[in-house]
Amino acid sequence: MQLEEGGLGRAGVAVRSAAAGSDGLVAMCVGMLAFVNTLPNGFVFDDHPAIERNPSVQRASGWSSVLHTDFWGTPAGSARSHGSYRPLTVLTLWLNRWLDAGGGARGFHAVNVLLHGLATWLLWCHARATLRRRSSAFAAALLFALHPLNSEAVALP
């Protein structure tokens, strides 16, 4: 019987593959744990006009108004429109508000933490596919997960 990879055989290859896949999950969990402390925080700064007072986000009627308003909820064709048309962002805010029965900021923070974890895992997947060393991909994912520049995007809804 011929053994592969220094005598480990197929079991050793499977263990190394599982360990390689767990690096991405570890980076994802580290990134999420770094921001889990944001969950009890409330809305701050421009969250009030962009979420709490935005008729496109607060409207219970439907999501179609998102397609006709700017980021702040002003009709897109209006002279008062800010001109910042971000329908995907406003749609996610509307969906988050629709799913959150309590109406507080906790749900928005939870979604941001989950999305940050997903983005960290996706970055790890990309780095693993493009970098030669597994440790380099893991380091890149950890750097992204814990970099202070990401704190505003994750901590604020």
Please give the pLDDT value at position 26: 95
Please give the pLDDT value at position 15: 44
Helices (H), the chain: 9-35, 47, 55-58, 87-99, 106-130, 134-146, 151-155
Residue 123 structure tokens:
């970055």
Global pTM value: 0.73
* Residues in the chain with pLDDT values less than 50: 1, 3, 11-15, 18
Q: Residue 87: CB partners within 8 Å, gap ≥ 6?
A: 66, 67
Q: What is the pLDDT of residues 18-48, one digit of tens each?
A: 455 689 999 999 999 999 998 888 888 888 8
